[in-house]
A and B are shown apart, each in its own frame.
Chain A
C-alpha cells in the first residue's frame, strides 16, 4: 500500500476526530448546570462518530465528488471524508443561514448536491433513495457509484432487505456498508441480530458480502476499493460490514450505563492504533503526526469560527423551501 495513501487515511481520521471533539465541546459548553437538550449554541440531538473514523476514511479515499454517499443519523465522519465543505457542515450544525440546509435540516439531515452527499435520520430509510441515485447514474451511462451506509441495527429493518434485493436484481452501482458498532442505542447486536455477521446476509441476494474486523482502516480501504470497482464496472452491489466502535454515547447526554465494553473500546482507539502502526512502519513519526493534528485543528477552528459568526436564519423565512 502506498505510504501516501496511509498518511492520507490517517489525516482524514484525525480531521474527523478534531471536528467531533470541537462539536462535543461546544455542544456541552452551554448546557449546564441544568441540562437542557434544546439549549445552547448547538441545540437538539447530537450523534457523534468518534471511533468510526476508519469506515469513513477507508471508503471515501476510493470515491470522487461525482460519486454519491448516503449516511445515517450519525453522519459527520462520512461528510468530512467525502469532502463536504466543512464550513457549511459546521454552520448547519449551529443552525445558521450559511449551513448546508440554511438551518432547516440540522445535523441528521445534511444534503450537499455538489458532492452528492445526503443522510437520513430514519434507520435504514436512507438506502432506498441511494438506489435512486444509482439508478440515475446507471441509466445515464455514468461511471459513478453510490455508497449507502447504515448501522448494524438497521440490518433488521425491511427497507434494508428491500433495497438489497432491488439493487441486486437491477445490478445497481451501489456499495452497501454496515457500520457495526455493536450497539443499537442500548441494545447489543447479540440481542438484536440472528446471524453473527450481517455480511452473511448478502448470500440471500446473490451478491458478495465481506466483513472487516478490528476497525482496520487499511482493510476497509482495500475491501471498499474492490467493491467500488465492481459497482463501477457494472457488476452490481456488494455488502460490506465493518466491525467498528462507538467511543462516545449514542447521543450526547447518553450516560452509557448499559455498556460493559467501554474501557476495552477506549483501549483500542483506532486513531491511536493506526498512529502506532504507521510509526512502527516508519511511515509517520511522532513529529509528523503532531503536524497533521495541528493542521487539522486549525482547519476545524476556522470552520467553527465561520459557523459561529454566521447569521441565524430570519424567523420571517420559517415558511420558505416547503415547495420549489
Chain B
C-alpha cells in the first residue's frame, strides 16, 4: 500500500476502531457478511473488535453465540461453504484447544479435500499476546501453530492502518484467514498505552495485500524481523541504538501465511545480520523458520550468527517480574542487537 499524504489524510483512529471501520464498510458493501462470536454484540467485543456493529447492522448480522466454540466456528465454516462470508471471533487464541478440530481439520482442509470445488471464505479473528499478567491460558500468541498447519492464511497487524487494510483484504479473500490482533496494539483505554496504537487511517476502502511485509524503518547494519506488538518495541530500540551509531532495518511481517520471504532475504542480503523478535514460543516456530529460509537460500548471507528473541519454551508466567523476564522486552531486544552487530 502506497498512499500519498493527501490520500492518507490526517484522521487518527485506534487499531480497534480501524478494524471495526474495515468490517463495517465491507458489511455495507456485501450482505453475505456477518459477524459472530462470544460478546460481539452488545458488549462490542471484549477487545473492542466489534464495537458499534450491532447498533449499525442489527442482531441478524452481528450475532452473540453460546460459549460453544466448536459449534459456532464449525457453523461459520458451513455457512462459508454455502456462499456466505462469515467473520467469526475466537475471544482469545488460547481457547483454540476447545475447537481446534473445526479449525484445522475442517475450515482449513475442505477446499483441498474437495479438489478446489468448495471454497471457505471466512475470517477468524482472535486476540493474542501478553504483557498484562493474564497468565498462561490468556497470554499466548500461537501464530506459529496456525501458520504451521496448511490451508489457513495468517495475518498479524501491528498498527491501525494495516489493521483496516488487512481486514478488508481478509474479508475479500476466498480462503480462511486467521486475523490475529495483539491486545497491546488495539489502543484499549484499560491497558498500557502504546503511542502507535493510534494512527492515521485512510477513510475509504483499501486493502493491505496479504503476504506483503513492510520495511517500517530502513537501516544498513542489521535486519530486525518482527511482527505485531514487538514491531513497536523494535522501533523504540532502533531509535535508541541509532544514538550509538547502530543502524537497524525493521521489517514488520504483517502476514505469516503467505510469508514475504523476498523482503526478508533482500534486507538480510544487504545487512548480513538478522535478529528475529517474536512473542510466540521459540522452538519449532517463526524464528526457526526464518533462520531456515536464510540458510536454504545462502548460508553465507549472514556475516554474524543470527539471534532470536522469543518466549523461551515456558508457559507465560502470571507474576509481573516473571512475565517480563520471558517476553521480548526492550532490554532483551537491545542486547541481542548489540551482540549481533558487535
A236 interface residue per 8 A CB criterion: no
B265-277 contact mask (Cβ, 8 Å, vs A): 1 or 0: 0000000000000
B66 interface residue per 8 A CB criterion: yes
Q: Which residues of A contact B77 (CB under 8 A)?
A: 128-129, 132
Task: List the A residue with the shortest CB-CB distance to B122.
Answer: A132
B295 interface residue per 8 A CB criterion: no
Q: Which residues of A contact B325 (CB under 8 A)?
A: none
Bound together, the chains give a CA A320 to CA B116 distance in angstroms of 8
Q: Which residues of A contact B71 (CB under 8 A)?
A: 127-128, 131, 159, 162-163, 165-166
Bound together, the chains give a CA A324 to CA B110 distance in angstroms of 11
Q: Which residues of A contact B118 (CB under 8 A)?
A: 111, 113, 118
* Contact with A132, one of B79, B121, B175 (Cβ below 8 angstroms): B79
- Decide: B102 and A105 in contact? CB cutoff 8 A: no
- Decide: A132 and B74 in contact? CB cutoff 8 A: yes
A137 interface residue per 8 A CB criterion: yes
Bound together, the chains give a CA A137 to CA B106 distance in angstroms of 20
Q: Which residues of B contact A102 (CB under 8 A)?
A: 115-116
- Decide: A101 and B114 in contact? CB cutoff 8 A: yes
A133 touching B115 in the complex, CB below 8 Å, given contacts A125-B74, A166-B72? no
- Decide: B110 and A111 in contact? CB cutoff 8 A: yes
CB distance from A27 to the nearest CB of B (A): 20
CB distance from A319 to the nearest CB of B (A): 9
- Decide: A101 and B113 in contact? CB cutoff 8 A: yes
B153 interface residue per 8 A CB criterion: yes
B80 interface residue per 8 A CB criterion: yes
Task: List the A residue with the shortest CB-CB distance to B61.
Answer: A139
Q: Which residues of B contact A320 (CB under 8 A)?
A: 116
Tell me the A161-185 residues at the B interface (CB within 8 Å). 162-163, 165-166, 169
A158 interface residue per 8 A CB criterion: yes
A35 interface residue per 8 A CB criterion: no
A187 interface residue per 8 A CB criterion: no
CB distance from B175 to the nearest CB of A (A): 5
- Decide: B81 and A133 in contact? CB cutoff 8 A: yes
Task: List the B residue with the shortest CB-CB distance to A172.
Answer: B75
A128 touching B78 in the complex, CB below 8 Å, given contacts A165-B71, A166-B72, A322-B151? yes
Bound together, the chains give a CA A106 to CA B78 distance in angstroms of 20
Bound together, the chains give a CA A133 to CA B174 distance in angstroms of 17
- Decide: B79 and A135 in contact? CB cutoff 8 A: yes
- Decide: B83 and A104 in contact? CB cutoff 8 A: no
Q: Which residues of B contact A158 (CB under 8 A)?
A: 70, 98
- Decide: A136 and B175 in contact? CB cutoff 8 A: no
**Residue in A111, A136, A158 with the greatest tally of chain B CB atoms within 10 Å:** A136
Tell me the B55-70 residues at the A interface (CB within 8 Å). 60, 65-66, 68, 70
Task: List the B residue with the shortest CB-CB distance to A136.
Answer: B82
Q: Which residues of A contact B174 (CB under 8 A)?
A: 324
Contacts A111-B110, A320-B116 supplied; 12 other A-B pairs, CB < 8 Å: A99-B115, A101-B117, A102-B116, A104-B112, A105-B113, A113-B117, A129-B77, A131-B75, A132-B78, A166-B68, A166-B71, A324-B111
Residues of B within 8 A of A (CB): 34, 60, 65-66, 68, 70-84, 86, 98, 101-102, 105-106, 109-119, 121, 150-151, 153, 174-175
- 16 A-B residue pairs with Cβ-Cβ distance under 8 Å, sorted by A, are A101-B113, A102-B116, A104-B115, A120-B105, A128-B102, A129-B102, A129-B106, A131-B71, A132-B75, A132-B86, A139-B34, A163-B71, A166-B75, A321-B116, A322-B112, A324-B174
Give 10 closest A-B pairs by Cβ, nearest first: A128-B74, A132-B78, A102-B115, A129-B78, A136-B82, A162-B71, A111-B114, A132-B79, A105-B113, A162-B68
